[in-house]
Amino acid sequence: MDQQIKLGLIGKNISYSFSKNYFENKFKKLFLKNHTYEVFDLNDIADVEQVFNNQNLTGLNVTIPFKEKIIPYLDELSNEAEKIGAVNTILIKDDIKKGFNTDAFGFEKTLLLHQKDIHQSALILGNGGAAKAVKYVLEKHDIPYQIVSRTGDLNFENLTKEMVADNLLIIQCTPVGTFPNVEDSLDFPFSDLTSKHLIIDLIYNPEYTSFIKMAAQNGSKTVNGFYMLEQQAEKAWEIWNVQKK
């Protein structure tokens, strides 16, 4: 009998997760009866030690709020994960736990699909693990950006019309508006958006956040996080299968 291969997801309050269904459907399509995918809903990152004790654990996805907190529990980081300072995929091979960042891959694919020549500078809303992957990609493509966060020098209270007008690419990286709190939205000057703006909200559940709906009212091009999610998941699958051999 084939050895069991266990994969999973660690995060907090993640019963809504996309990953379990996505990978279980993949196992069915590929007739992989020896693969399982489990959701590990952790209260505290220290509980990950127990997750690592699972027999036949080959890999994990990592989501909010542990993308940065997981790093001290790993043995190695990929070059990208080290530069970004956040991990969303773990490969476990020969008792070595190595962290990767496939969010950057997924975001880059999304950005290049929708970006036009006019999208030359950006506002990043939020400054967590997902924002770190976004910063990495923007720097790679020489797109200057400013970070807007609740506690930063530039925040949602002093964000000006001029800043919104001057930055036609806006990436929403906070979890505000994620299921089940779908009515929540950032306090953002939506009336200053135009049809030239490209708004990327990294949230995928719900499909249309309050943020996206309000941005779309002014004719802005809006994109949710679903394509990015699929792309980062495929990259994680590749890491687990190519690098484990």
Task: Express each pLDDT in 26-80 by its tens digit.
Answer: 999 999 999 999 999 999 999 999 999 999 999 999 998 999 999 999 999 999 9
Mean per-residue pLDDT of the chain: 95
CB 177 within 8 A of CB 185: yes
Distance between CA 60 and CA 62 in Å, rounded? 6
pLDDT at site 245: 55
Domain 5-101 has CATH 3.30.70.980: no
Retrieve residue 110's tokens: 């999304």
pLDDT at site 108: 98
- Exposed / middle / buried, residue 40 (Cβ in 10 Å: 0-12, 13-18, 19+): middle
96 phi and psi angles, rounded to 5 deg: -100, 125
> Which residues, given as ranges, of the chain have pLDDT below 70?
1, 243-245
CB 218 within 8 A of CB 188: no
Q: Is the dihedral of CA 153, 154, 157, 160 positive or negative?
A: positive
pLDDT at site 243: 66
CB 26 within 8 A of CB 54: no
Site of tokens 């990327």: 200
Task: Express each pLDDT in 13-26 by its tens digit.
Answer: 887 778 999 999 99
Domain 104-227 has CATH 3.40.50.720: yes
pLDDT at site 76: 98
Site of tokens 């690592």: 52
CATH 3.40.50.10860 positions along the chain are 5-101
Beta-carbon neighbour count of residue 75 at 10 Å? Answer: 10
Active site residues: 67
